[in-house]
Amino acid sequence: MHAIFSSTVWATRLHLTPWLVLSAFLAACGGGGGGGDIAPPAPVSPPVITQQPASQAVEAGTPVTFAVGLQDGTGASYQWLRNGAEVAGATQSATTLAAPAVADSGSKWSVRVSNAGGAVTSSEAVLTVTPKPVVTPVGISLVAGDVGAMGNADGTGRNAHFNNPRGIATDAQGNVYVADAGNHTIRMVTPQGAVTTVAGTAGQSGTADGAGAAARFSALTAVTLGLDGAIYILDNGGLRRMTAAGAVTTIGLQITGTAPRFLSLAAAADGAFFIASESAIWRVRPGEAATVHVGFPTSGTANGDATQASFLEIADIALDAAQNIYVAQPRTHMIRKVTPQRIVSTFAGSGALGSVDGTGTAAIFSGPTGLAVDGLGNIWVAETGSGALRKISPAGVVTTPFGAQGLFPLGSGASSLALNAAGDIYYCSWHGVAKVDPSGAVADVAGNVRPAAVAGIGAVRRLAVDGAGNVVQGTAQSELLLQKRAPDGALLPFSVVVPGYGVMNSTPLNGIATDPAGNVYVSSLLFTHGGINFFTATGGSITKVSTSGATSTVANWPIGSPGAMAPGYLTRGPDGALYFIDMATGNLVRWTEAAGATVLGQAIQLLPGGLFSMALDRWSIAVDASGRVAVVGNRAIRVVQSGALVVLAGAPGQAGSQDGEGAQARFVAPTSMVGDAAGNLYVADGEVVRKVTTTGTVSTVAGVRGSIGLRTGALPGSLNVLGEIAIGPDGVLYAISGDALIKIKLQ
């Protein structure tokens, strides 16, 4: 060891390499294969890439692999990079992205290869991901948003729609009956969630008796099941009876003087009914005069016998098997009890606000509304203040068995409960029906039981489809937010704010249009106020938004400039020109960068002084594949012929819904229009889509007049009142229907 150390020191001082020192040492020792010199190892060269990663284009969800090839991969290590950043775990000569999404499109992939001789980085390969082709079935399908909203359409589950349902009851077969107050109808929901309208006609108020749709209701508040199996209904202070077949008759209450406003209803064991106003409970037997059972015309909270007790803002009543009446008072946060002897006491609740379990008045409630009694005598309470379902035992012990589930939020309209034989508790909330089973599991039964799950779709004011089939949506406030969705509804990485977008009463005058390259054009309007709902246009501009989101002004008409135009209701024709209505003159204009503006005719007759009103009408322009230009507004469709606009279908100013030829057809509220490759026009007209052929024949192709609420599936389906409508390159229609973006494929 000493000799080796000395040799090393000696070599270092003479600046000799360790290899030479070792060779000398081995020679001195007789080693080294007979005393010859040992050659040093050959130097290692850095990696040489012979095959660079290749750029690739795939559909979303299709695996994609990037690979690199080396001249000699001995001893090489790999690290893949995405947009210059290391990809964890990607350390082989190839790397695979198992399910690329559209959001991965444009990413750049390279690999750093290293060995003992150095490192080298490959060139970058670009990944292009296109949306997976969407197979659109014939009919109505959801693209984005929520089908749930108020309406009147029958259907199953969320394809059914309600409008402020209030009372609820169950029958022996497990069907649920709902007083659909906003629609003035009685609806039936099967255990499977299928909804039908049993009596009344949506949107038509009245008091007429009759069978099914011939009956009329005006102010529905409660329903209950009678001993005879019929459904009894509180409507505008009166008691109505409905058979299982939907035949409705009125039962006279024979009340002397002015009848109070009755809010809740319960059936007694002897065939009589108890009906409650805000401050009293009445007893009525069909064919006899109604009498006050307990309470006074004036409100109060006193307990005692029928000569002393008073009530304050009764929300609901329910009876147990012993014929005790339980009363929910949300304002005082109490549950009151009325015995058959008409003795009134506070059964549960201290009057304080809160949600605390306990016995009797030691318990605390927060806005109890709906009540129901089960077969064991337990009283179930819908507590709107906490949203919880509370339970009171026959002994008055209050518990919250399922916790604070948030079932009955304030404003949801939860004012009634009903139980079936299986112990399921049904309730109305928002615009639907839900249930809680005995284990506490909550299930939506029909309609929309909560606010829209996907916010923002209902705020979209402009719609277009680009050449790739992507949907461009414009949400307008003081500015316009442009976003794009793939055909399957997924939001794409495109979000641009265009300032200066004119909006009156949340209804935009302006428009958006697309070209085959995917650019978006936006018209912006300048105006001054001329009174409530009246405006005067003073100028405007047209902005081009590229696929990368870059904006540029392609046309500008400053306020006060000679010939200043105010472009409203923008669209683009197959000839590449932009078409709009000049809101400063009411003219229909064709515009190109090369030729400027060409007036095609008078589209709108402005009011004196150049005023226009968004409260009076909506307009839209469509250009079909042949270049024919059409304008819809004032309940008529006009087309450009020989320098003038002539009526193709409908009658200006005359409302109606009938299909037919040309001037025989009528429109209710046409708001948006598009044209297809065959020259047909499609018009959003309230809750239906109308088709207008090249000769002016009008037919209804989607939705049913009078049926409001989105029901997807086979045509005609059912639609909410429509906003914008657009058409894709494949001829599929897109529309805003309530809080949903939908597709309509006609064939």
Look-up: residue for tokens 């058979």? 243
CA distances from 61 to 64, 323, 708 (A): 9, 64, 37
pLDDT at 8 over 60: no
| CA 398-399-401 angle, 5° bins | 150
The pLDDT value recorded for residue 617 is 61
H helices then E strands: how many in the chain?
Answer: 3, 65
Q: Exposed/middle/buried for 219, CB within 10 Å: 0-12, 13-18, 19+? A: middle
How many C-alpha atoms does 52 have within 13 Å on its Cβ side? 13
357 neighbors 367 (Cβ within 8 angstroms): no
722 neighbors 704 (Cβ within 8 angstroms): no
* Range from 29-38, 112-121, 542-551, 691-700 carrying the lowest mean pLDDT: 29-38
What CATH number belongs to 637-746?
2.40.10.500
State the Cα–Cα distance between residues 361 and 351, nearest whole angstrom.
8
The pLDDT value recorded for residue 200 is 96
Listing DSSP states for 282-298 in one string gives EEE-TTS--EEEEE-SS
638 neighbors 600 (Cβ within 8 angstroms): no
State the Cα–Cα distance between residues 376 and 397, nearest whole angstrom.
14
Q: Whole-structure pTM over 0.75, yes or no?
A: no
Q: Exposed/middle/buried for 159, CB within 10 Å: 0-12, 13-18, 19+? A: buried
The two structure tokens encoding residue 296: 């006074």
Question: Of 226, 161, 136, 21, nearest to 707 (Cα)?
Answer: 161
Mean pLDDT across the stretch 10-21? 38
473 neighbors 463 (Cβ within 8 angstroms): yes
Q: Exposed/middle/buried for 444, CB within 10 Å: 0-12, 13-18, 19+? A: middle
Structure confidence by residue, pLDDT tens digits, 652-695: 999 999 999 999 999 999 989 999 999 999 999 999 999 999 99
336 neighbors 344 (Cβ within 8 angstroms): yes
Q: At what angle do helices 2-13 and 18-28 cross, to 10 degrees?
A: 140
Superfamily of structural domain 49-130: Immunoglobulins (2.60.40.10)
CATH 2.40.10.500 residue window(s) in the chain:
296-405, 637-746
Give all strands (DSSP E) within 52-184, no chain letters. 56-59, 64-67, 69-70, 77-82, 85-86, 94-97, 108-115, 118-121, 125-130, 139-145, 155-156, 165-170, 176-180
pLDDT at 453 over 90: no
CA distances from 77 to 45, 73, 177, 493 (A): 14, 8, 71, 35
Structure confidence by residue, pLDDT tens digits, 248-306: 999 988 887 777 889 999 999 999 999 999 999 999 998 888 999 999 988 999 999 99
The pLDDT value recorded for residue 220 is 94
Question: Of 684, 675, 667, 674, nearest to 719 (Cα)?
Answer: 684
pLDDT at 186 over 60: yes
Mean pLDDT across the stretch 40-51? 88
State the Cα–Cα distance between residues 448 and 165, nearest whole angstrom.
11
The pLDDT value recorded for residue 743 is 95
Percent of the chain at pLDDT exceeding 90? 69
- Cα torsion for 57, 60, 61, 65, to the nearest 10°? 20
pLDDT at 7 over 50: no
First vs last C-alpha separation in the chain: 94
pLDDT at 150 over 50: yes
pLDDT at 35 over 90: no
Q: CB-based contacts of 49: which residues, under 8 Å, 6+ apart?
A: 68, 69, 70, 71, 113, 120, 122
pLDDT at 71 over 90: yes
The pLDDT value recorded for residue 509 is 65
Question: Of 136, 142, 140, nearest to 454 (Cα)?
Answer: 142
Q: What CATH fold (topology level) applies to the domain 143-252+408-438?
A: Neuraminidase (2.120.10)
230 neighbors 177 (Cβ within 8 angstroms): no
State the Cα–Cα distance between residues 510 and 523, nearest whole angstrom.
5
What CATH number belongs to 296-405?
2.40.10.500
Structure confidence by residue, pLDDT tens digits, 175-184: 999 999 999 9
Give the 3-state secondary structure of residue 162: coil
The pLDDT value recorded for residue 264 is 94
Q: What CATH fold (topology level) applies to the domain 458-615?
A: Neuraminidase (2.120.10)
Listing DSSP states for 94-130 in one string gives EEEESS--GGGTT-EEEEEEEETTEEEEPPPEEEEEE
CATH 2.60.40.10 residue window(s) in the chain:
49-130
Structure confidence by residue, pLDDT tens digits, 54-65: 999 999 999 999
The pLDDT value recorded for residue 678 is 94
The pLDDT value recorded for residue 478 is 64
DSSP annotation of 55 reads: P
Q: How far is CA 40 from the centre of its chain?
A: 75
The two structure tokens encoding residue 407: 């079932």
Q: How confident is the model at residue 371 (pLDDT cuts 50, 70, 90)?
A: very high
Question: Of 687, 688, 702, nearest to 747 (Cα)?
Answer: 702
State the Cα–Cα distance between residues 62 and 114, nearest whole angstrom.
30
